[in-house]
Amino acid sequence: MINPRDLHVCRNAIKHGSLSFYAASKLLPPGVRDSALSLYAFCRLADDAVDLHEEKIDAVLRLRDRLDAIYAGRPFDAAADRAFAAVVEMHDMPKPLPDALLEGFAWDAMEKRYDTLSGVIDYSARVASAVGAMMAVLMGVRDADALARACDLGAAMQLTNIARDVGEDARAGRIYLPLDWLREAGVEPEAFLADPIPDERVRDCVRRLLREAERLYFRSEAGIAALPLSARPGIYAARHVYAGIGGAIRKNGYDTISYRARTYKSQKIGWLALATARAGVSAAMPRSAVLHAQPLKECAFLVEAAAKSQPAAGVWGEGRTGALLAALAELESRDRRQRLERQSA
C-alpha cells in the first residue's frame, strides 16, 4: 500500500504543479486516484528535476538510478519514489513504460530537435503517451486497442503542451515544433530562437499542431468508453481540460509567444460536469469502430509492453532497449567530458 504520508506529499505536488490533472483526478475512483496521483507526482517531479536543473545530464542519470532502485525494491528516500515503488508493486507496472519516459528526458538533456511531425510524436510518445499507458495499467486495462487509444490521448495532451509553450521554450533556447514546418513557412529555426516573433507563419505552425492534437483527442474517446465505468469520468475530464487549453490558444489567435494560454476554475468545473455526463452516456452507447484503429507507429512499442500479461517475478527489472542504452551512454560520455573540462579550467 502507498504510505499515507507519501501520498499526502504527492497530492500536494500535483495540486501546486499540475492543476489540470489535479482537477481531473477528483473524478477517478479512490483506488485508482491514489495510484494515479503517485504516478503523476513521480513523473512531474522527475520532469522538473530535469527541466529546471542546470545540470540536466546529471539529473537524467540520477533518474535512471532512481528507477533502477524502485524496480529493485529499494527506492530512494523520497516520498514520490516510495509511492511510485508501491504503485509498481501493486499493479505490476511494466518497466519499459517508465523507461520510455526516461528516454524522453534523455532527449531533452541532449537538446534534441525534431525534423518532422513524426519526430515530435516520437518524443510525445515517451514523455506523455507512456504516462497514458501507465494510467491504463493502473485501471487494470491490458487490452491493446484500449491502450492504443490511451497513447493517443497522451500524445494529444503533449502536442497541446508544445503548442502552448512555444514562446517559453524559445526563450529557453528550445524548440519542439517540427523543423520542416518552420522551414516550409520560411522561418529559420535559429533566427526564430534568436528573436521569437508570433508572426503569421509561426502561428500557422501552432494551428497545425493543434489540428493534429484534435484528431488524436477524437481517436482517444473510443478508448475511454473501453475503460472501467468508474474511471471514465476522470479520463473524459482530462481530455476536456487539456483540450480546453487548445481552445484558449485559438482565442489568442494561435499566439503562444506573447501570451500563455490559461484556463479558469469556472471552465474546469464545466468540463468536469461534462465529463460526468459523457461517462454516463457512454455506458449506453455501442463501441466505436475507432477503438480498433492501429496504434500510432510511434507508440506501438508502448502498447506492446503494456498489453503483455503479468510477467514472471523480476522480468520487468531486466534489460533496457538499445536506443535507451545508447542515449544514456551518450549522456554519460558528455557528463565525463564536462567534468574533465571543469577540472582543467
Question: Mind listing the pLDDT tens digit for each residue in 123-181?
Answer: 999 999 999 999 999 999 999 999 999 999 999 999 999 999 999 999 999 999 999 99
Per-residue confidence (pLDDT) for residue 110, from 0 to 100: 92
Say whether pLDDT at 309 is over 70: no
What's the topology of domain 4-344? Farnesyl Diphosphate Synthase (1.10.600)
Q: Where is pLDDT greater, at 265 or 195? A: 195
Residue with cell 545530464: 57
Question: Where residue 31 falls among pLDDT bands split at 50, 70, 90?
Answer: confident
pLDDT reading at 36 higher than 50: yes
Residue 28: which of 228, 223, 282 has the closest Cα? 228
Closest by CA to 264, choosing from 251, 279, 278, 277, is: 251
Q: At what angle do helices 130-138 and 96-109 cross, to 10 degrees?
A: 160
Buried b (16+ CB within 10 A) or exposed e, 254-285: bbbbeeebebeeebbeebbeebeebbeebeee
What is the rounded average pLDDT for all residues in the chain?
91
| Measured distance CA(243)–CA(214) in Å, rounded | 8
Q: What is the DSSP letter of 299?
A: G
The predicted pLDDT at position 319 comes to 55
Whether the pLDDT of residue 246 is over 70: the answer is yes
Q: Is the pLDDT of residue 313 over 60?
A: no
46-62 per-position pLDDT tens digit: 888 887 767 889 989 99
* C-alpha–C-alpha distance, residues 225 and 235, integer Å: 10
In whole angstroms, what is the distance from residue 31 CA to residue 28 CA?
8
Cα 30–Cα 34–Cα 39 angle in degrees, nearest 5: 140
> What are the DSSP calls for 99-159, one per residue?
HHHHHHHHHHHTT---SSHHHHHHHHIIIIIHHHHHHHHHTT---HHHHHHHHHHHHHHHH
The answer to whether the CB of 61 falls within 8 A of the CB of 105 is no
- Out of 149-158, 214-223, 264-273, 279-288, which region has the weakest mean confidence (pLDDT)? 279-288
pLDDT band at 310 (very low <50, low <70, confident <90, very high): low
Please report, rounded to a whole number, the percentage of residues in the chain having pLDDT higher than 70.
Answer: 95
Residues 230-251, mean pLDDT to the nearest whole number: 93
Q: Please tell me the predicted confidence (pLDDT) of residue 25.
A: 87
| Better-scored residue on pLDDT, 99 or 45 | 99
Q: Determine the pLDDT at residue 287.
A: 79
Please tell me the least confidently modeled range out of 149-163, 168-182, 247-261, 330-344. Answer: 330-344
CA-based nearest residue to 101, from 116, 117, 84 = 84
Is pLDDT at 315 greater than 60 in this prediction? no
Residue 312 banded pLDDT, cuts 50, 70, 90 = very low
User: Would you state the pLDDT for residue 39?
Assistant: 94
